Amino acid sequence: AAQGWPCPACGVAALSPGAQRDALLALAKQNILAKLRLPARPSAPRPPARGALLTALRRMRAQRSAAFPGMLRSPLPFTPPLLVLRAGSSTSHSARLHFRFSQEVAGSTEILRATLYLWWAAPGRGARPVTVRLLQPGPAGPDVTVASETRLEAQSSGWTTLDVGAAVRSLFGQDAPRLTVELEVPEGWGSPLPSNHSDSHWPFVVARARARKSHRLHRR
Amino acid sequence: GVDCGAGSRMCCRQEFFVDFKEIGWEDWIIQPEGYHMNYCAGLCPLHVAGIPGLAASFHTAVLNRVKAASAAAAVGSCCVPTQRRPLSLLYYDRDSNIVKTDIPDMIVDSCGCT
């Protein structure tokens, strides 16, 4: 508009390809920062203080001890973020979930135990059969291989757990550690994921981990 | 909506992807890896404004007929977003907290003439 163009899009089209790209990138940055109400991009994240982390873990243990007895009995020496969950492709009766572990953590952490938590809504017509497949990326390309397949019977509403320790440990030697979980129910049984998409009912992985110890050589 | 192809002159949606790695933002935005911003470009001659499919709605079509009949029709119409969707972001804020947010109307899904 400042250049006298009648429409906002016309001005962009009049720029040379290089200038057009720069203008669009600047616009994208400005747009995201403005919507997040940030004057500038945040500086590189720093890990939270160990004291604050332990306090948060203690609070979490107190809140969850009723729902998950035995979970988080002691503070865990891990560095967040350990993983990010992302919903992948899905159909009406199957869904894929991607658990991406940060590479820095994967390189310096040893997984002692990992458990996948899945929430089932009340089936209402007897036991609901659910197939859980753990998929791993193939040696090349986007193909995946089935590392394990488990069939569960959901009797009533609640959390079901599945040991995924071996699968997670085997991922940690890879460049981009990512665990893909495929959930499948028979056709006509609805989605295997909670239909209300409530954060508190989304699947998650609890991992008990410890920092890898470095081997030291002593010379006398 | 129409997607722009090679040599498109009429109003269409041009795909544009901002790779967060390329602009050095991958250290504070965890997910997604980029932003499918997209934008609208192209001509909107008067006879196109109000054609169902390119126009946003029945109301747009009626308004265009009214405008065409008035002197204001000479102003013409603009190629603008007619459908948008939100962008979900997972990022570190200034205090290094991990925040998940959905910013509405960030991704242009289709374009049309006003």
Q: Which residues of A touch B40 (CB under 8 A)?
A: 9
Report the Cα–Cα distance between both ends of chain B, in Å, rounded: 13
The answer to whether A13 contacts chain B (CB < 8 Å) is: yes
Q: Output the six-digit token pair for B22.
A: 């390329």
Report the Cα–Cα distance between both ends of chain A, in Å, rounded: 77
pLDDT of A69 = 40
Which residue from A8, A11, A4, A1 is spatially nearest to B114, judged by alpha carbons?
Answer: A8
Average pLDDT over every residue of A147-158: 81
Residue of B nearest to A5 (CA): B78
Identify the three-state secondary structure at position B72: helix
Average pLDDT over every residue of A178-201: 76
List the alpha helices (DSSP H) in chain A.
8-13, 17-35, 50-64, 103-108, 165-171
pLDDT of A80 = 40
Contact B39 A12 (CB under 8 A): yes
How far is C-alpha A129 from the geometric centre of its chain's CA atoms?
Answer: 25
Which residue from B85, B79, B39 is spatially nearest to B56, judged by alpha carbons?
Answer: B79
pLDDT of B35 = 93
Q: How far apart are CA A84 and CA A179, in angstroms?
A: 10
Whether A142 and A177 have beta carbons less than 8 Å apart is answered as no
Q: Output the six-digit token pair for A29.
A: 């940055």
pLDDT of B70 = 54
Helix (H) or strand (E) segment spanning residue B69: helix B58-69
Q: Output the six-digit token pair for A111.
A: 């997984």
Range of weakest confidence among A25-39, A46-60, A106-120, A177-191: A46-60
Contact B94 A32 (CB under 8 A): no
The answer to whether B16 contacts chain A (CB < 8 Å) is: yes
Whether B96 and A47 have beta carbons less than 8 Å apart is answered as yes
Chain A with chain B: Cβ pairs closer than 8 A: 74
Of the candidates A28, A46, A80, the beta carbon closest to that of B18 is on A28
Whether B19 and B34 have beta carbons less than 8 Å apart is answered as yes
Q: Which residues of A touch B94 (CB under 8 A)?
A: 38, 42-43
Q: Output the six-digit token pair for A34.
A: 């403005």
Angle (nearest 5°) at CA B15 between A1 and B111: 60
| Residue whose token pair is 């550690």 | A177
pLDDT band at A29 (very low <50, low <70, confident <90, very high): very high
Contact A29 B23 (CB under 8 A): yes
Contact A41 B92 (CB under 8 A): no
Rg of chain A taking only CA atoms, in angstroms = 23
pLDDT band at A46 (very low <50, low <70, confident <90, very high): low
Which residue from A143, A144, A164 is spatially nearest to A207, judged by alpha carbons?
Answer: A164
Q: What is the mean pLDDT of each run of 10 residues along chain B (114 residues)?
A: 82 91 89 89 70 52 60 64 88 78 88 86
Contact A38 B94 (CB under 8 A): yes
Distance of residue A105 Cα from the nearest chain B Cα, in angstroms = 15
For residue A61, pLDDT over 60 is answered with no
Range of weakest confidence among A24-33, A49-58, A59-68, A168-177: A59-68
Identify the three-state secondary structure at position B65: helix
- In chain A, the percentage of residues whose pLDDT exceeds 90 is 4
pLDDT of A172 = 76
pLDDT band at A67 (very low <50, low <70, confident <90, very high): very low
Q: Output the six-digit token pair for B31.
A: 């997910």
Mean pLDDT of chain A: 72
pLDDT of A187 = 80
| Residue whose token pair is 């009797």 | A155
Identify the three-state secondary structure at position B107: strand
Average pLDDT over every residue of A68-86: 41
Q: List, for residues A98-129, the tens digit of each pLDDT value.
A: 887 776 667 777 888 888 888 877 666 677 78
Judged by CB atoms within 8 Å, which residues 72-91 of A form the interface with B? 80-81, 84, 86
Question: Is residue A43 packed enough to be buried (19+ CB in 10 Å), middle (13-18) or exposed (0-12)?
Answer: exposed
Q: Which residues of B touch A35 (CB under 8 A)?
A: 103, 106
Q: How far apart are CA B18 and CA A15, in angstroms?
A: 18
Of the candidates A9, A45, A80, the beta carbon closest to that of B79 is on A9
The answer to whether A41 contacts chain B (CB < 8 Å) is: yes
Better-predicted residue by pLDDT, B74 or A181: A181
The answer to whether A39 contacts chain B (CB < 8 Å) is: no
Which residue from A108, A132, A61 is spatially nearest to A210, judged by alpha carbons?
Answer: A108
Contact A43 B94 (CB under 8 A): yes
pLDDT of A122 = 63
